[in-house]
Structure 1
Amino acid sequence: MPDATTLTSSVLSDRINAMQESQTIAMAKKARELAAQGVDVISLSFGEPDFQTPQYIKDAAKKALDDGFTFYTPVPGYPDLRQAICDKLQRDNQLDYKPENIVVSTGAKQALANAVLSLINPGDEVIVFAPYWVSYEEMVRLAEGTTVTLMGTLENDFKVTAQELEAAITPRTKLIMYSSPCNPTGSVFSREELAAIAEVVARYPQVHVLADEIYEYINFVGEHVSMAQFPAIKDRVITVNGFSKGYAMTGWRIGYLAARREIASACEKMQSQITSGTCSITQRAALAALQGGRSSADEMVAAYRRRRDLVLALCQDIPGFRTPTPSGAFYVFPDVSGYFGKTTPSGDVIGTASDLAMFMLNDGHVAAVDGAAFGAPNCMRFSTAAADEKLREAFIRIKNCLAKLQ
């Protein structure tokens, strides 16, 4: 008689059976399970600011309730919020859009999924710059596209070059996906680097670009450059952003995309059949966030920069870690392959970054995510979105438990 697992797999769709669980969420789940058993776990696995949402944004949400914003919302978002997003894109990114080009979604993740599902047919190739955010590949798989992974080198801060991109483009290439500042590496593409990539894209009219800019405000090098700033390809760029990182609004679940009208309309159609409009209260809070400027974000960035510098110093004290300096976001992404082949006190061999992550969780009680989830199996991602004392304690634990490997 078939076991329960076999029966479940046969009932479920091939689509869901082929899909992997988000590894960041999976590791956070394991950390919570240990914590529930009374273990003092420090989790550096989740990309979530540890700051509270600014008070003026909370106040706007309370006012929205009192003002009766409790009904269904327009699928692409309230008109005044979409206009405010246009104003933000003009002010911060020198991008000229109208509200008809904006679709507000339940998180930037939904905006990304809307775009992929609206553009990709079975067999279309999607070039994904790696290391990449864990959900990109699964979104492409859901759309029945083919992922073509381009890995940037550690020596180039994990950034793909224009020459590497052009060599990977084929007649089946439909889309390029990347993030800057990057999750997981913290790398930031410069204007010159993106200009060179834009020149390549301009030569291939069938190729579109999905630019994930959710970490835009968490930038330690100054200028943030949007791919849509290059006129020759603007109509083929879909820019995705949101409020979770820059405004510490992770639980509010709101993001948006900006694209030419044809693509925006397609994403609106997709969203209309899945979730419809985003939460009314969240949208009023997001409007207040934009109207309040970015001073609160700048305060958080100062803290993230200090934490980055703290963690880099701590990583330098751990033999076997090769850690580039991130230019944005709130992660460090060391190469940990120097520990592969070593043996734990119980006799287990560390063969992969996943093995190392599990050893660190079980022995050092620190949760991190192995790099395979991001397309970089020699690396590991640590979030620096934690208090200074937590970060210090975490890396003391990591150093001590890694010293046990022989």
Structure 2
Amino acid sequence: MGVRTASRLENLGTETAFAVAAAAADWKARGNEIYPFHLGDLDVALAPHIVEAMNAAIADGRTGYCPGAGVPELRAALAEDVGARRGTTYSPENVTVMTGGKPVITKFVQAVMNPGDEVLYPNPGFPIYESQIEYHGGAAKAYRYLPTETGFAIDLDQVRSLLTERTVAIIYNDLQNPISAESTQAEREAIAQLAVEHDLWVLSDEAYFEMRYEGVSTSIASLPGMAERTVILYTFSKKFAMTGSRLGAAVAPVELSRVFSTMNTNDESCTTHYVQWAGIAALQGTQAPVQDMLEVLRGRRDAACEIVNATPGMSVEVPQSTFYLFPDVTEAVGLVGAEDLADFAEQALHRTGVSFCTRNHFGRPQPGEDRSYIRLAYSGLSQERIREGLTGMRRWIESAR
């Protein structure tokens, strides 16, 4: 007799970058050089004062259970920091600490969506959105982005066409992964207006809110009528290079924060106690390491964009935020004689060692898409390695012409 599992598991997806990582690791194990542009991890060391705070918390015995909603000191620090940077006011009761940003997606879906309800989400977008909506019995409705002269813009007409009486929420990722798109104020206001008019919950994924090289970020939660219907996804992973520490938070209306706290108690009991004290140090200590990291990433961005735009059949706008490029490779796919994007990625890995995700790793392609894109994450490679890997890829494509 075979092992029986729940039928809903058929709807559970994954973060597809890890599948690409497995293929890259296999190729490396065979003795080949790898340039890992596939995973948005950071090769930046954790700031010393954060390490010291974590070690001190362990030495002080902060290794046991703590409140499910998070230690009061971290909730207060997050309320102050998130509110100040977004021009809004939050109290500690608005904050629920979680084990990274992903649980905020899961618990948001569980809290606001019943089976059969519809939730709108960006596509291309972080694949966990679609996975969690479908896993919990909802109808995942994808909205697309349209290429413009400066990057990408949400297809607002399509968003409007997707709204029905069954729509309960929209997931909105400003400073977007994988395409690095940032909303204009007009686009942000349009999404907010639709949320208010149709009484929708909004999950505002702000993982990259402060990962930017120019300009200042604006949260949709700061717009009129939005604070009471918006859940902000906050994570320490990107800004503070704490990806493995698994620390994040939901900043939400108080009634929903109480629900999240109960979910935490059911799911994890609490977020790791001593890691939360490291989070306090990250928020309240010197921000110089953050600025230093952004300068390093800026140099990597510029190097990657320079080579991509010098490669036949590839082009990309220079993004002002995140640490991803989403170049159009339509002509490059044809130049090397690849059958499709998957074949292009496999050839690139085997011919040049450059490993990357494609557009198809970020949601099912939508009808009418006629361009091919890949995602290059430059956060885990030095500028020298970026130039080495992408130059090799450029030469491969040039030789195929």
TM-score, normalised relative to structure 1? 0.92
Are 2:386 and 1:398 aligned? no
2:275 aligns to what?
A: 282
Structure 2 residue matching 1:174: 3-state secondary structure: strand
Native 8 Å contact 2:130 2:363 kept in 1: no
185-194 vs 241-250, greater mean Cα deviation: 185-194
Q: For the residues of structure 2 that align with 1:327 and 1:211, how far apart are their CA atoms?
A: 19
What is the one-letter code of the residue matched to 1:175? A
What is the one-letter code of the residue matched to 1:135? I
Structure 1's consecutive aligned runs of 4 or more residues displaced over 3 angstroms after TM superposition are 161-164, 339-344, 403-406
Displacement of 1:293 in angstroms is: 4.8
Q: For the residues of structure 1 that align with 2:228 and 2:280, how far apart are their CA atoms?
A: 26
Native 8 Å contact 1:93 1:226 kept in 2: yes
Aligned-residue sequence identity (percent) comes to 28
Q: Structure 1 residues 389, 343: CA separation in 2 closer, same or farther (over 3 Å shift)? A: closer
Q: For the residues of structure 2 that align with 1:306 and 1:342, how far apart are their CA atoms?
A: 29
Counterpart mapping for 1:95-114 below 5 A: 95-114=88-107
1:249 aligns to what?
A: 242
1:74 aligns to what?
A: 67
Structure 1 residue matching 2:190: 3-state secondary structure: helix
Displacement of 1:24 in angstroms is: 0.5
Deviations 1:33-60 (A, max 9, x none): 2222222111011101111111100000
Q: For the residues of structure 2 that align with 1:294 and 1:217, how far apart are their CA atoms?
A: 12
1:351 aligns to what?
A: 339
Deviations 1:283-310 (A, max 9, x none): 0100100011533212211221221111
Are 2:186 and 1:198 aligned? no
162-171 vs 359-368, greater mean Cα deviation: 162-171
1:142 maps to which of 135, 138, 153: 135
Displacement of 1:337 in angstroms is: 2.2
Q: For the residues of structure 2 that align with 1:17 and 1:339, how far apart are their CA atoms?
A: 35
2:216 maps to which of 223, 228, 234: 223
Count of aligned positions: 393
Native 8 Å contact 1:154 1:324 kept in 2: no
What is the one-letter code of the residue matched to 2:341? A
Q: For the residues of structure 2 that align with 1:369 and 1:338, how far apart are their CA atoms?
A: 17
What is the one-letter code of the residue matched to 1:160? I
1:388 maps to which of 357, 377, 383: 383
Q: For the residues of structure 1 that align with 2:288 and 2:132, how far apart are their CA atoms?
A: 34
2:348 aligns to what?
A: 360
Native 8 Å contact 1:130 1:158 kept in 2: no
Q: For the residues of structure 2 that align with 1:126 and 1:28, how far apart are their CA atoms?
A: 29
Displacement of 1:342 in angstroms is: 5.6
Structure 2 residue matching 1:225: 3-state secondary structure: coil
2:172 maps to which of 168, 178, 191: 178
Displacement of 1:127 in angstroms is: 1.0
Counterpart mapping for 1:5-404 below 5 A: 7=2, 11-155=4-148, 157-205=151-199, 207-340=200-333, 350-375=338-363, 378-385=372-379, 386-403=381-398
* Unaligned residue ranges in structure 2 (runs of 5+): 366-371
What is the one-letter code of the residue matched to 2:231? I
236-245 vs 114-123, greater mean Cα deviation: 114-123
Displacement of 1:147 in angstroms is: 1.3
Q: For the residues of structure 2 that align with 1:123 and 1:352, how far apart are their CA atoms?
A: 34
CA RMSD of aligned residues (A): 1.9
Q: Structure 1 residues 331, 395: CA separation in 2 closer, same or farther (over 3 Å shift)? A: same
Q: Structure 1 residues 276, 383: CA separation in 2 closer, same or farther (over 3 Å shift)? A: same
Deviations 1:91-136 (A, max 9, x none): 2112211111111111111112111121111111111123211211
What is the one-letter code of the residue matched to 1:200? L
What is the one-letter code of the residue matched to 1:243? F
Displacement of 1:90 in angstroms is: 2.2
Native 8 Å contact 2:328 2:373 kept in 1: yes
What is the one-letter code of the residue matched to 1:168? L
Q: Structure 1 residues 405, 12: CA separation in 2 closer, same or farther (over 3 Å shift)? A: farther
258-267 vs 186-195, greater mean Cα deviation: 186-195
1:347 aligns to what?
A: none
Q: Larger relative CO (CA 8 A, sep 6+): 1 or 2?
A: 2
Structure 2 residue matching 1:323: 3-state secondary structure: coil
Deviations 1:155-174 (A, max 9, x none): 16222154443232111111
